Amino acid sequence: MEKDDPIALYNIGIYYRDGVWGYPQDYTKAIELWHRAGELGHAEAYTNIGYAYQYSEDKQDMKKAIHYYKLAAMGGEVIARHNLGVLSVRSGNTDGGVIHYMMAAGCGYSKSLKRVKELYSDGHATKDDYKDALLAYQSYLGIVKSKQRDEAAAFSEEYRCY
């Protein structure tokens, strides 16, 4: 942490958030550490900050949540991209939500593909939207599919990525 290792900062932020491994539960300290990790290029840290603002009991702030999800998504964080889709749809911007979901599906996030399918079934997305999301998802799977991944997935569900 003293050497500004973004992974260490991120992990210790989790320890503070959860109050584990001898760290007291301290959400303010967790967010401070995630800010630093994010500044050092750890996009997932921004996802955690966004999540904290989205679900905080006392400091809920959707504008800040969206801001941090955007930073994370620009850094390649697929869950943040999915969360932007969720928030877009909730705010009534279905088209924006579909775009975010399609991008996340193209990065292999099956929950986003499922959301596009649901939006299509409900009449809020087009057949082409669903087709494009499905093709992007399948393309991703074709890229990551390997014998080693299949063996790892057979060993443990934890290693399954498709």
Asked if 95 and 143 sit in the same domain, the reply is yes
Residue 57's pLDDT is what?
A: 79
State which of 61, 76, 91 marks the end of a domain: 76
Q: What is the tens place of the pLDDT at every residue in 36-87? A: 999 999 999 999 999 999 988 777 889 999 999 999 999 999 999 999 999 9
pLDDT band at 157 (very low <50, low <70, confident <90, very high): low
End of a domain among 76, 104, 120? 76
- Mark whether 16 and 90 lie in a shared domain: no
Q: Are residues 19 and 57 in the same domain?
A: yes
pLDDT at 25: 92
Intra-chain end-to-end CA distance of the chain, in Å: 34
**Region of poorest pLDDT, from 2-6, 51-55, 99-103, 157-161:** 157-161
* Pair 87, 160 in one domain: yes
Do 29 and 12 belong together in one domain?
A: yes
Residues 133, 126 contacting (CB under 8 angstroms):
no
106/153 same-domain check: yes
Q: Does residue 65 or residue 3 have the better pLDDT?
A: 65
Instruction: Tell me, yes or no, whether 145 and 67 share the same domain.
Output: no
Report the largest interatomic distance among the alpha carbons of the chain, rounded to a whole angstrom. 52
